[in-house]
């Protein structure tokens, strides 16, 4: 599914701006709303997976919805149709996201949970750079035919749906006893410990300090990258992301997790500063690579911390709440980035990201001592 989605996502920002005449502010709204939609949906799908004790059913439903929306992208002739397709696609992502992560947490032994989520993040990201690579090849072969690339993206999406339906096996769960719980009730949410909410708060501030990768694509194109090579931005970012995610997961099982998060945030600060100041493609490439390193160091680690701090029978709900907060924050960050870009240019957008990341680092360092359990070594 990542191959399919990233073939489209790598081209969609430029297609919206160049092909359909949308503004960068509109791109920010579209990307932010898309991610926020996915995050809101994850709350309910995660809670439902806890209530039903069924993870695979919901995950397969989400993958199926995403596969069904893919043909809309090549058929759409207006921004409205693309927004609708992106919206439904992200609903599918939201439905599958929390149950899938909870399923991984159910299967992975606690002592290597960091490595398990690091591996999942790495394999996700292999698809995320294979998709843009394929998009580059197809754009070159078809003289920049966006719609042809979008049609080809339908095929791996269908393959992903068939794979989860016929190949994935859910482990047996103990039969439910007593009255079925309502995972989103106040009583159940109160069972989520303070350490879990600290992880959610840290993730929210992290997300506010970064925005949609669509702005990396627009930054490279604004610096002179040819349209046929625009997907190379996501290829570079995701190669670094994939290569670093699994080693970061191994480190998370062996060292202080707060330090690892801090280092990832430092990488984001440096990336934003370079992207704000650089005028050439070489500098942009360095900034994009550091952005990918930041993702590899932090994203799997944050999922590991959610799994560590949430009760086993509330993991779906915990991942759902975690993704809700991150998605709403991504909406705010992306809209702010688009508005700053339109009013002040790309330098201001990335400079604002760096300042927010610095504030995040200060807050993280102050909170580590208070909730050491969340940043301790893996168990």
What integer pLDDT is reported at residue 183 of this predicted model? 62
Give the pLDDT confidence score for residue 375 in this predicted structure: 45
Q: What is the mean pLDDT of the chain?
A: 81
Whether pLDDT at 268 is above 80: yes
* Token pair of 345 as six digits: 């240019």
Instruction: Quickly state the pLDDT bin for 159 (edges 50, 70, 90).
Output: very high
Instruction: Look at residue 145 in the predicted model and tell me its pLDDT.
Output: 83
Element counts in the chain: helices (H) and strands (E): 17, 0
Contact 219, 275 (CB under 8 A): yes
Give domain status of residue 175, yes or no. Answer: no
Contact 319, 171 (CB under 8 A): no
Arithmetic mean of pLDDT, 210-224: 83
Q: What pLDDT does 369 receive? A: 55
Q: Minimal CA–CA distance to 247: which of 358, 102, 121, 350?
A: 121
Which pLDDT value is given to residue 181? 60
Residue 180 lies in a domain: no
Q: Is residue 172 part of a domain?
A: no
Q: What is the pLDDT of residue 378?
A: 43
- Percent of the chain, pLDDT > 90? 12
CATH code assigned at 359? 1.20.1250.20
Domains of the chain: total: 1
| Domain membership flag for residue 179 | no
**Overall average pLDDT of the 47-67 stretch:** 84
Range of the domain at 316: 2-167+188-375
**In contact, 23 and 30? CB cutoff 8 Å:** no
> Which of these, 123, 371, 110, lies nearest to 252 by C-alpha position?
110
Would you state the pLDDT for residue 377? 46
Tokens for 302, please give them.
Answer: 């944050």
- Report yes or no on 173 lying in a domain: no
Q: In this structure, is residue 228 part of a structural domain?
A: yes
> Are the CB atoms for 132 and 231 separated by under 8 Å?
yes
Q: Measure the CA–CA gap between 153 and 309, rounded to whole angstroms.
A: 37
Using CA atoms, how far apart are residues 266 and 355, in angstroms rounded to an integer? 11
Mean pLDDT over 306-332 rounds to: 81
Give 82-135 pLDDT, tens digit per residue.
878 888 888 888 888 878 888 888 778 877 877 888 888 888 878 877 888 888
Whether residue 60 lies inside any domain: the answer is yes
* pTM for the model: 0.67
Give per-residue pLDDT as tens, 176-197: 554 556 666 777 777 888 888 8
Going by C-alpha positions, the residue among 216, 304, 172, 189 that lies closest to residue 14 is: 216
Residue carrying the six token digits 């080693």: 247
Note the pLDDT of residue 152: 94
Provide the 10 A C-beta neighbour count for residue 248.
28
Which DSSP string corresponds to 138-167?
HHHHTTS-HHHHHHHTHHHHHHHHHHHHHT
In this structure, is residue 178 part of a structural domain? no
Pair of tokens at residue 45 = 């799908």
Residues 339 and 215 sit within 8 Å (Cβ to Cβ): no
Residues contacting residue 163 through CB under 8 Å, at least 6 positions apart: none
């Amino acid at each position: 599914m990542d191959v399919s989605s990233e073939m489209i996502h790598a081209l969609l920002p430029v297609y919206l701006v160049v092909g359909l005449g949308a503004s960068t502010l509109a791109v920010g709204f579209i990307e932010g709303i898309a991610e926020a939609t996915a995050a809101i949906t994850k709350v309910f799908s995660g809670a439902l997976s806890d209530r039903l004790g069924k993870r695979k059913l919901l995950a397969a439903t989400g993958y199926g919805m995403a596969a069904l929306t893919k043909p809309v992208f090549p058929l759409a002739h207006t921004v409205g149709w693309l927004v609708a397709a992106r919206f439904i696609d992200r609903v599918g992502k939201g439905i599958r996201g929390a149950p899938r992560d909870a399923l991984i947490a159910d299967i992975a032994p606690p002592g290597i949970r960091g490595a398990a989520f690091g591996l999942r993040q790495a394999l996700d990201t292999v698809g995320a750079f294979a998709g843009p690579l394929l998009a580059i090849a197809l754009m070159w072969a078809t003289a920049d035919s966006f719609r042809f690339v979008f049609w080809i993206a339908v095929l791996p999406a269908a393959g992903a749906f068939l794979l989860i339906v016929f190949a994935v096996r859910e482990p047996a769960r103990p039969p439910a006893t007593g009255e079925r719980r309502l995972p989103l009730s106040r009583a159940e949410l109160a069972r989520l410990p303070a350490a879990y909410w600290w992880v959610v708060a840290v993730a929210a501030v992290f997300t506010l300090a970064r925005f949609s990768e669509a702005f990396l694509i627009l930054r490279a194109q604004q610096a002179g990258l040819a349209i046929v090579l625009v997907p190379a931005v996501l290829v570079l970012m995701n190669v670094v992301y994939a290569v670093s995610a699994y080693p970061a997961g191994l480190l998370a099982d062996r060292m202080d997790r707060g330090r690892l998060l801090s280092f990832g945030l430092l990488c984001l600060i440096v990336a934003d500063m370079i992207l704000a100041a650089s005028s050439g493609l070489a500098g942009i490439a360095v900034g994009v690579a550091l952005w990918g390193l930041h993702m590899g160091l932090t994203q799997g680690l944050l999922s590991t911390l959610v799994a560590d701090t949430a009760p086993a029978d509330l993991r779906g709900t915990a991942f759902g709440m975690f993704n809700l907060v991150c998605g709403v924050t991504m909406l705010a960050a992306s809209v702010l980035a688009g508005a700053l870009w339109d009013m002040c240019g790309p330098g201001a957008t990335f400079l604002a990201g760096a300042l927010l990341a610095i504030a995040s680092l200060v807050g993280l360092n102050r909170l580590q001592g208070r909730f050491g359990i969340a940043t301790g070594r893996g168990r």
